[in-house]
Amino acid sequence: MTYKKDFSSVCNDFINDAKLTDTIANTKEDIKHVRDVIAKSMDKQPLSVKETAVLLAADDPDVVEEIFNAARDLKKSVYGNRIVIFAPLYIGNHCINDCAYCAFRKTLRSTVRKTLSDTEIKAEIEALEDTGHKRLILVFGEHPQYDAKFIAKTVRDVYSIKKGHGEIRRVNINAAPVNRDDFKIIKESGIGTYQIFQETYHHETYAKMHPKNTCKGDYLYRLDGLNRAFEAGCDDVGIGTLFGLYDWKFEVLAMIKHSLFLQDRFGVGPHTISFPRLQPAHGVEIDDKYLVNDFDFKRLVAILRLSVPYTGMILTARESPEIRKEIMSFGVSQIDAGTRVELGGYSNSDKNQKRKEQFCLGDMRSMDEIILELLQDKYIPSFCTACYRVGRTGERFMEFAIPGFIEKFCTPNALVTLEEYLVDYASKQTKEAGNKLIESELSKIPDPKMKKEIIDRLNRITKKDERDLYF
């Protein structure tokens, strides 16, 4: 991996701490203004930083409940009742950074360091395929051995591993920002989303958490990472903040600012936004000053949904099953399931697990348990990867999504991929719940031709043993 500072031709620090802080301090609660902002959001228009601040200023319980209800309605309007399923796979935890909150930081000598071998990667992928996963995000530490060629090779290897009907159809990436030439190499391997978390957008806090003598210590180089990704042809990117490092309201406004910056500059904002909360980890001492309580966590999720109507929102297994169940309706479109965050954790578990994982998980349930709960709560678990594979990404995705045409693809593809899961991997109870939900969803489809085409694909899966029949 090259660490030469390869900035974009136009690189500027568009995060103004003082301005964001003043916006929060000077925006007072105004019920009428809140309702005006909600109305704009319900018209599926992205909100400005100032409009988002109006929602952040709302503290009256009744007004906050209006925000929650609006987020539920908007989520249903844009995404229906689908929830996309994925899993993270940690490839290596060697790291040259020294982030204060991370169990993989280089000075934590008690962490068990490991990079999965080709044989171990194969075992992990087969274990994931055995549970029904079709979509992964590969996670890499920031280290010279995890350069662009290594990442690209790993992606190609993952795609090549198939067991029975199992196959990984889409690989996303969570890795360090790289140079434009390196982004091109990684893009050519067939990735979906390239995800870079700023962790915290607050400059002083960022400097405190990331020592200057490390690669990650350069705030602006990291902030510019997704600009370089776009310039290299990666039109599908994800942003995120680790909530708990600084004031949550500031971080929400900063993410909105980042999203709008990308939209203005490249014609499309982030495909996904992630909002993990700081969790306990081996060898990490947590300052609880900025930890986000459950109520404020619900607020920030709902406000993000209203602020970025067409951006996917990811709720991870850092959270407990109870919190995930409650927050799901506020705008979440993707969750991980059956997650393990230690190296080799899907195919094998050992006594050193805590010293090989980046943080503690809140939801350790199996894939089938999570799928069953989703079905019982009337969500459609979706394993769809069609948009990536037919080129509905970046600006083209927005062309489909903004007018609402995406519903013509997403619900049918969700039902077809769910059928695959039910036939190949589900327990008896999950299969019964899934068949019942599919029957219910089919009854809601108004277009007879589309309904007929979906039923044809479902029959080809169950009766002809065909797979991957996407729209």
pLDDT at 357 > cutoff 80: no
Nearest partner of 116 among 335, 360, 340, judged by Cα: 340
d(CA 337, CA 372): 11
Helix (H, G, I), strand (E, B) or coil at 12: coil
**Percentage of the chain with pLDDT > 90?**
84
d(CA 262, CA 41): 19
Is residue 240 within a helix (H) or strand (E), and if so which, with residue range?
A: strand 237-241
Tokens of 126: 């087969």
C-alpha angle 164-364-271 in degrees, rounded to nearest 5: 75
Label residue 212 exposed, middle or buried (CB < 10 Å: 0-12, 13-18, 19+).
exposed
pLDDT at 64 > cutoff 50: yes
Q: Which residues of 25-63 are buried (b: 16+ CB within 10 A; e: fewer)?
A: eebeeeeebbeebbeebeeeebbebebbbbbbbbeeeeb
The residue ranking higher by pLDDT, 56 or 350, is 56
Is residue 464 within a helix (H) or strand (E), and if so which, with residue range?
A: helix 448-464
d(CA 235, CA 230): 5
C-alpha angle 225-249-44 in degrees, rounded to nearest 5: 75
**Going by C-beta distance under 8 Å and a sequence separation of 6 or more, which residues neighbour residue 322?**
none
- pLDDT given for residue 109 in this prediction: 87
Write the pLDDT tens digit of every residue in 322-343.
999 999 999 999 999 999 999 9
In sequence order, what DSSP letters do the residues of 155-190 get, joined into one string? Answer: HHHHHH-EETTEE--EEEEE-----HHHHHHHHTTT
Band (pLDDT 50/70/90 cuts) for residue 78 is: confident
Band (pLDDT 50/70/90 cuts) for residue 392 is: low
* E strand spans, 288-439: 312-315, 334-336, 380-382
Band (pLDDT 50/70/90 cuts) for residue 5 is: low
Tokens of 453: 């085409």
pLDDT at 356 > cutoff 70: no
Q: In the predicted model, what is the mean pLDDT of residues 90-113?
A: 93
Distances (CA, A) of 394 to 18, 93, 388: 32, 30, 10
**Going by C-beta distance under 8 Å and a sequence separation of 6 or more, which residues neighbour residue 56?**
24, 27, 249, 252, 253, 299, 303
Listed as own residue / partner, the contacts of 311-314 with beta carbons closer than 8 Å and 24 or more positions apart are: 311/259, 311/269, 311/270, 311/271, 311/272, 311/273, 312/84, 312/271, 312/272, 312/273, 313/272, 313/273, 313/274, 313/275, 314/238, 314/240, 314/272, 314/273, 314/274, 314/275
- pLDDT given for residue 2 in this prediction: 45
Write the pLDDT tens digit of every residue in 261-296.
999 999 999 999 999 999 988 888 888 999 999 999
- Spatial contact of 148 and 178, defined as CB atoms under 8 Å apart: yes
pLDDT at 70 > cutoff 50: yes
pLDDT at 408 > cutoff 90: no
Please give the mean pLDDT across all residues of the chain: 92
- Type of residue found at 352: N
CB atoms within 10 A of CB 452: 10
- HSE (side-chain half, CA atoms, 13 Å) at 222: 27
Helix (H, G, I), strand (E, B) or coil at 115: strand
Band (pLDDT 50/70/90 cuts) for residue 7 is: low
Q: In the predicted model, what is the mean pLDDT of residues 74-102?
A: 94
Listed as own residue / partner, the contacts of 74-77 with beta carbons closer than 8 Å and 24 or more positions apart are: 74/41, 74/42, 74/44, 74/305, 74/306, 74/309, 74/331, 75/305, 75/329, 75/330, 75/331, 75/332, 75/333, 77/42, 77/44
pLDDT at 452 > cutoff 60: yes
pLDDT at 349 > cutoff 70: no
